Structure 1
Amino acid sequence: MASDGATRLAPPLFLRTFDPNWGCCVDPPISCTAVCAAFLFFTGSAVATAQAEETARPEEAAQSEETAEFLSQGFANKTYDELTSAELTAAKAVARKMKIDSLRVCADPGNLPLSNDKREGFDNKIIDIVAKELGTKITYFWRPQIDRGLTRQTFDNHECDVLLGMPAGYESVLTTTPIYRTPYVFVTREEDDIDIEGFDDPRLKELRFGVYQHSGLRLALAKHGITNSLDVHVLSHDADLQPEKQPWRQVQQVVDGEIDIAGVFGPFAGFLKTMRGAKIAIQPVNQIDDEVPLEFNLALGVQPTNIVLKYMLDDALERGRDEIKDVLTAYGVPLVQCSNCVVSGDIPSHGTYFTDRQEKARKLYLTPLSENREGLQRDKASADQVVTETRLDEWLDDGADLNEELSNAVVGTDRERVAFLLKRGADIDSLNLMGLAPLHTAAASVTPT
């Protein structure tokens, strides 16, 4: 057990060790201030709020009242997509003033170089930076990331506030601004001088090839008929207790000559090359398949209704940008170009998987709607229902998100607003929590002819 009061969950969903002082939601004692307690209304912890407010300092009580005012308006049980732009702006204002005593983090105890129970992974270092920016402390709840029901049970059981290393836009959680984008890679020994030209390269069927069990790369290989000759690394629930089962070990197999090539998640390879001096060649493969995504944005995850905490984390990540970049560089994480990530890289991105995106966008956004889908009828709308460029500018100045507003405009079939937001720099490929880009939303709105 970690010395900071962390816990570790193992199948079949029971605690090996437990310390009752690991988080601000455990009672007794209550370790959060009244501000933290007000924040906990997002998870329905009204009892904790009442207890904490008894010992609140004056300035905390003032912030607690402002937060409670926000929450009392019915926002506590709404998801991100259910809030209006004005409500999201209000949540951002609360986030800028919120203070919390403790941040409970769920992380995998045996998944280097991302995280481990000794806090040696780059995800551990990144959340330390976030905690420093927030002026709070970290307590851990250790749980293998491959456990079934991970997101639902950790939040329902109040095991943590934040999940590390979540795919941005993951549907079961609300994620922060993407921290970085990284690809799958091929790993070979430098001395072998192997450069794979694509998934149809005949050498992939001749070389001793290693891949791990649940992998987009394994799926891409299967599409090209590469299945029988693979050395499949099976993921384990107890890799913290048996480090040889951790996915990065497949890269070590290449170094040791046990296999000729490994297809792994980029950070596993960069870790051995940069931090352990392995003589390996790393080849990103994110651009050699147009159907299976082989590059991903990673972020922090919070409960879907915890919008204030999301914004707090977003702000902290932005403030810690330079330190986070240093951490990712030190661990050798291959970084892909990413305009909306905290840290962007130099590896070219695959980009959208719509090869005819521009033509589809032109038809969907600019072609007149059918008569029964006229969208906004301005002559029948009241003044407060019409979104003008002036109102958009005011919202954006107050902190509204360009991409969120683009999604709203597409849902409202407001072509003028879409054109304005695209001019202002909205990302036509940005995904909402349902994993839909504006193009998908527009396609769903078009009446078949």
Structure 2
Amino acid sequence: MFVDKAKIFVKGGDGGNGIVSYRREKYVPEGGPAGGDGGKGADVIFRVDEGLRTLMDFRYQKHFKGERGERGKVKSMHGANAENMIVRIPPGTVLIDDDTQEIIADMTRHGQEVIVARGGRGGRGNCRFATPSNPAPDFCENGEEGKERWIILELKVMADVGLVGFPSVGKSTLLSVVSGAKPKIGAYHFTTLSPNLGVVDVGDGRSFVMADLPGLIEGAHEGVGLGHDFLRHVERTRVILHVVDMSGSEGRDPFEDWVKINDELKLYNPLLAERPQVIAANKMDMPEAEEQLALFREQLAAREDGDKYEIIPMSSLTKKGVQELLYKAADLLETVPELPSLEEVKDVAERKVFTYEQEEDNSFTIRRENEDYVVESAAIEKFIKRVNLNTQDAILRFGRTMRKMGVDAELRKRGAKDGDTVRIGDFTFEFFEGSDYFYD
């Protein structure tokens, strides 16, 4: 089964907690703080593996969570960092953030890596908070939570040459003739429901990868029929072989079919109209094919851009013209540069979403809920998660942080008085003007 789209959940490992500890040395009755820092949580990293061809593995496993960092140790020793989680994906996979629909990375090269969910930083031990005024702090930090998100994986087949055309024009038969691929072939529409790949040996020392892509129908750019499931794969091909049933065996007009397919490609992505294209006039062994070909040439010559397309008469059944078609495709590939990647997009997205050095948003809002003052701030709630508010030292530190952020001043401006209740996240405090908060 070919799977070319999946949605998965990724979460970086949480950082290990710091600890509270003191030196225990002979003849040193009051040793200083010696609690070590926790280790960093595991990053979730996607790595391209050219041995994979589909996203089948993600059909059965949809959650990927990194390991937690080790907690701090005594004697100021650092906890071990967790080993990063490596997730293998096939080349041609595009990673998209499900919430923002932003492209995280376009993974095309073997061994290419991108961090999709960073692990959390480890919490600091009490030895990191020692000051002249408080040489033996009795608190530490919890590890930071790892980043988490839902990601959409879209696989776009990596092929040099793509076969496009209406259903049942002979694309699969052509692929089976020129390569060792064995696609399912039948005399009915949509026999091919997923891309098939084959390596083509031209015969003069050159070779390339050809993809038999599912048939298009009118309205495909809007998702009609196989729609976008097909068109995303065309974007990867450097040369397009447009297969046309020149015999009109199903009562169709070959030129009209050719125009409709090109319109669908252009409407989906205007860049596809600039892609080199060769017209493979297939089924020339059928009656009336020669007359249809002559008419096709006249209609094509009447177009302003008609001279940019080359027509190669051929028949997959008799193999006449097939070798000439392969030579032409190979010649075009030598002149067409590699398709541009989205490396710059990946770098920008990674910096924007994941770097720790980004400026913290310390904004907050205060509202009244009955008699309580409710403070809402992502930065404060994150701070509370990292601080164990079960010691006097930790509460004093929390109070100093609130004053530094301006929360105290804003509460007084809103009319808060001694003894009023202040709620922040799941915690409740009593407010005392000019003093610290006290955990209730």
Which TM-score band applies after superposition, normalised by the shorter structure? under 0.3
Pick the structure with more helix per residue: 1
Pick the structure with more strand per residue: 2
- Give the structure-1-normalised TM-score: 0.21
